Amino acid sequence: MSSKKIYTGLIEQYRNQLPVSKDTQIISLGEGNTPLIQLHNIPSTLNKQVEIYVKYEGLNPTGSFKDRGMTMAVTKAVEDGAKAIICASTGNTSASAAAYAARAGITAFVLIPDGKIAQGKLAQAMMEGAIVLQIKGNFDDGMRLVKEVADEAPVTIVNSINPFRLQGQKTAAFEIIEQLGRAPDFHCLPVGNAGNITAHWLGYSEYACADSSLFAEVCTNGFADFSGKPIIDTRPKMLGYQASGAAPFIRGDMVDKPETVATAIRIGHPQSWDYAWIVNSESEGWFDECSDEEILATQKMLAEKEGIFCEPASAASLAGALRDIKSEKIPENSCIVCTLTGHGLKDPDTAIKQSTAPVVKVEASLVQVKSAILDNM
């Protein structure tokens, strides 16, 4: 008998709630099981009684929440005999697809927008051996091409239109419930394609044994089995925040030329458009937008005040939450979870560009180092 106690990823953890059989060969990098961290320093400046937690998804194996969906999508693709996967990506999906394809020993093709992907993500996809197709167009162009080419070539799409992606990603909601011992009152997410907000609602609804018309859409019913686990009796209001220059859910229509510093969510034609509106109405939540300035200021504040470094897109969830707490749209005494979808190290260029922290150049001498310290106390 083995005495090993290694965490082996979210499919193993939530086997009974996911569409796998006992014979399924699982492709995992130990994703999931990310920390839920209560913020202390930021809430104390608000003068409001609220509990704010961040779900730090940047601590997944490739540094974003995409790994939750990718372990499922690649596991099922391999089970199906696929030799190659393909995705369009603003960066994180490509990094994750490349990693799980490498792990599975299959090929990943990734379509990325020319010049608009953060350096860390490109580095990952390249190192992990993906075939990177840099297109002269944006994510939405890439997504259209991926759908077209998958009809003509033997490749499995691993964007979130692949329903197994949402299945994997719903486990973030399971973890939050188990970490908090309840469902939060509000769950805030940055929204691009709206796959993640859809997956979370799926997860909360399954755990609560509450009906959702998503079940029929995403063919999820029947997988959830929580016998022996605590069942929650409430679900959060789902709040989705977009960057102002890429905010189709706020405009009420597709956006043809999305622009934002938060390149991860530079998406104008969300793939889960209809699902996200279902989430919005069933959860009685709302969508709102954040300016690039707000996003960057919040990213920096989170790093400076709490020591948590997320990428720009991720900060939209907290930026929106803080605004809605101040205006009391989110009432006092609420329990709020904000998902930090990706790690700050993904996009070092944007971080350094906006950083005002002094880099003090000194000679390698005690006198100079000491005076630099005393000058900066």
Least separation, in Å, of the C-beta of 90 and ligand AN7?
4
**Stretch near ligand AN7 under the rule CB under 6 A, chosen from 28-36, 187-195, 200-208, 325-333:** 187-195
- Kindly give the pairing relationship between strand 51-56 and strand 36-38: antiparallel
Assess 138 for contact with ligand AN7 (CB under 6 A).
Answer: no
| Closer CB to ligand AN7, 186 or 249, in the complex | 249
Q: Which residue has the tokens 């940055």?
A: 190
Assess 289 for contact with ligand AN7 (CB under 6 A).
Answer: no
Tokens of 339: 């998902």
CB atoms within 10 A of CB 342: 31
Least separation, in Å, of the C-beta of 244 and ligand AN7?
15
| Closer CB to ligand AN7, 1 or 197, in the complex | 197
Please identify which residue in 90, 280, 283, 334 interacts with ligand AN7, judged by CB under 6 A.
Answer: 90
Assess 34 for contact with ligand AN7 (CB under 6 A).
Answer: no
**Stretch near ligand AN7 under the rule CB under 6 A, chosen from 10-18, 83-91, 171-179, 200-208:** 83-91
Assess 341 for contact with ligand AN7 (CB under 6 A).
Answer: yes
Q: How far apart are CA 173 and CA 238, in angstroms?
A: 12
Contact 101, 83 (CB under 8 A): no
Question: Which residues have CB under 8 Å from 85's CB, separation 6+?
Answer: 73, 74, 77, 97, 101, 106, 107, 108, 109, 155, 156, 157, 158
Question: Which residues have CB under 8 Å from 377's CB, separation 6+?
Answer: none
The pair phi, psi for residue 109, each rounded to 5°, is -105, 130
**Stretch near ligand AN7 under the rule CB under 6 A, chosen from 37-45, 91-99, 247-255, 319-327:** 91-99
Least separation, in Å, of the C-beta of 211 and ligand AN7?
23
Angle between helices 195-207 and 273-283 (to 10 degrees): 40
Please identify which residue in 168, 285, 342, 344 interacts with ligand AN7, judged by CB under 6 A.
Answer: 342
| Closer CB to ligand AN7, 9 or 190, in the complex | 190
Tell me which residue of 316, 309, 317 sits closest to 348, measured CA to CA: 309
Please identify which residue in 264, 296, 302, 336 interacts with ligand AN7, judged by CB under 6 A.
Answer: 264
Please identify which residue in 50, 243, 265, 279 interacts with ligand AN7, judged by CB under 6 A.
Answer: 265
Q: What is the CA radius of gyration of the chain?
A: 21
Please identify which residue in 192, 258, 268, 285 interacts with ligand AN7, judged by CB under 6 A.
Answer: 192
What x/- string results for residues 62 through 81 when contact with ligand AN7 is judged by CB under 6 A?
A: --x-----------------
Q: Which of residues 299-328 bind ligand AN7 (CB under 6 A)?
A: 311, 313-314
Q: How far apart are CA 319 and CA 260, in angstroms?
A: 15
Q: Which of residues 158-177 bind ligand AN7 (CB under 6 A)?
A: 160
Least separation, in Å, of the C-beta of 256 and ligand AN7?
17
**Stretch near ligand AN7 under the rule CB under 6 A, chosen from 2-10, 188-196, 249-257, 366-374:** 188-196
Assess 190 for contact with ligand AN7 (CB under 6 A).
Answer: yes
Which residues of the shown chain bind ligand AN7 in the complex (CB under 6 A)? 64, 89-93, 160, 190-196, 264-265, 311, 313-314, 341-342
